Amino acid sequence: MSGALPGLFAKCCCSAEGICVTCLRFTMAIIAVALGALIAWMPRRVIDMQIAFYRLINWKMEPISMEKEIRNTRLMGMTVLILGVFSFIYIWLS
C-alpha cells in the first residue's frame, strides 16, 4: 500500500490516551461520504426508513409530493457526499 495516500496516515498521532484530531476528522469525512452516497443513490429507501422511524414514535409523516421529496433527498445526498469529499481532500492536504 506504499504511496496510495502519501502523508495521510503519517499525520496520525493516536496513542493509548485517545484518538487524535486528524483521525477524528478523517473518520467524520468517511462517514459523510458513505451517508451521502447512500442518500444520493437510494433516496426512496432513506425516505421509507424515515417514515418507519416516525411511526415508531407515534408520528405520521408523508410527503405531499413523493417525486419532489425524492429529488430533494437525492440533492441533499449529493451535497453531503461532495462536502465529505472536500473534507477528505482538506485533511489530506493540510
Written as tens digits, the pLDDT of the chain (94 aa) is: 455 566 666 777 777 778 888 888 889 999 999 999 999 999 999 999 999 999 999 998 888 999 999 999 999 999 999 999 999 898 888 8
Q: Are 73 and 46 in contact (CB under 8 A)?
A: yes
Which residues face 18 on adjacent strands? 15
pTM: 0.78
Element (H, E) at 45: helix 43-56
Model pLDDT, residue 1: 46
Q: Compute how many other C-beta atoms are within 10 angstroms of the C-beta atom of residue 29.
A: 20
The Cα 25–Cα 93 span in angstroms is 13
- Cell of residue 75, nine digits: 440533492
> Looking at residue 91, what is its pLDDT?
86
Instruction: Report the C-alpha gap between 39 and 58 in whole angstroms.
Output: 24
Which is nearest to 46 in space by CA: 24, 10, 72, 14? 72
The amino acid at residue 86 is F
Tell me, what's the pLDDT at 6? 60
